[in-house]
Structure 1
Amino acid sequence: MNDVVIIGGSFAGLAAALQLGRARRKVTVLDTGRPRNRFAGHSHGLLGHDHKPPLDILVEARQQLARYPTIRLVNARAESVSGAIDDFCVFTDDNECLKARRVILSYGVVDQMPEVPGFAENWGKAIVPCPYCDGFEVADQHWGLVWSGPQSHNYVRLYHDWTDALTVFADGHEIAPDIRADLASRRIPVVEGRITEIARHGDHNATVRLDTSPHVAVDILFAHPRNTPSASLHESLGLATVNTPFGIALKVDERRETSVPGIYAAGDLANPLMASVTLATSHGATAGIFAQQSMLV
Structure 2
Amino acid sequence: MDDVIIIGGSFAGLAAALQLGRARRKVTVLDTGLPRNRFAGHSHGLLGHDHKPPLDILAEARRQLARYPTIRLVNVRAESISGVIDDFSVVTGDGESFAARRLILSYGIADQMPDVPGFAEGWGTSIVPCPYCDGFEVAGKHWGLVWSGPQSHNQVRLFHDWTDRLTLFADGHDIPPDIRADLARRNIPVVDGRIVEIAHHKGQITTVNLDTRRTIAVDILFAHPRNKPSASLHASLGLATIDTPTGIVLKVDERRETSMPGIYAAGDLATPFLPSVTQASWQGAMAGIFAQQSMLV
- Shorter chain as denominator, the TM-score bin is over 0.9
* Counterpart residue type for residue 6 of structure 2: I
Structure 2 residue 72 is matched with structure 1 residue 72: yes
Residues 194-219 of structure 1, C-alpha deviations (whole Å, 9 max, x = no match)? 00000113555331000114100100
Contact 1:19-1:289 within 8 A present in 2 as well? yes
What is the CA–CA distance in structure 1 between the aligned matches of 2:99 and 2:78, rounded to whole Å?
12
Is contact 2:122-2:203 (8 Å) kept?
no
Q: Which residue of 2 aligns with 1:148?
A: 148
The code of the aligned residue for 2:127 comes to I
**Structure-1 residue corresponding to 2:269:** 269
Q: Where in structure 2 are the equivalents of 1:88-167 lying within 5 Å?
A: 88-167=88-167
Unaligned runs of 5+ in 1: none
Q: Which runs of 4+ in 1 moved over 2 A?
A: 201-206
User: Which 10-residue stretch deviates more, 104-113 or 202-211?
Assistant: 202-211
- Determine the structure 2 residue equivalent to 1:235: 235
Partner-residue secondary structure (3-state), 1:163:
coil
The whole-number CA distance in structure 1 between the counterparts of 2:94 and 2:203 is 40
C-alpha offsets along residues 208-250 of structure 1, whole Å, 9 cap, x if unaligned? Answer: 0001141001000000001000000000000000100000000
User: d(CA) in 2 for partners of 1:124 and 1:206?
Assistant: 15
Whichever residue aligns with residue 83 of structure 1, its letter is G
Q: Tell me if structure 2 keeps the 8 A contact 1:12–1:106.
A: yes
Provide the rounded CA distance (Å) in 2 between the counterparts of 1:205 and 1:120.
12
Q: Counterpart of 1:234 in 2: which secondary structure? A: helix
* Offset from partner CA, 1:23-76 (integer Å, 9 cap, x none): 000000000000000000000000000000000000000000000000000001
Q: Is the 8 A contact 2:111 2:225 kept in 1?
A: yes
DSSP 3-state at the match of 1:285: helix
Aligned: 1:197 with 2:197: yes
Q: Report how far residue 180 of structure 1 moved.
A: 0.1
Measured against aligned partners, the alpha-carbon deviations of 1:56-102 in whole angstroms (never above 9, x if no partner) come to 00000000000000000000110111000000001111211101000
Letter aligned with residue 51 of structure 2: H
Q: Which amino acid aligns with 1:120?
A: A
CA offset digits 1:104-162 (Å, max 9, x no partner): 00000000000000000110111000000000000000000000111100000000000
Deviations 1:242-292 (A, max 9, x none): 100000000000110000000000000000011100000000000000000
Q: Say how many residue pairs are matched.
A: 297
Distance, in Å, in 1 between the alignment partners of 2:246 and 2:158 is 18
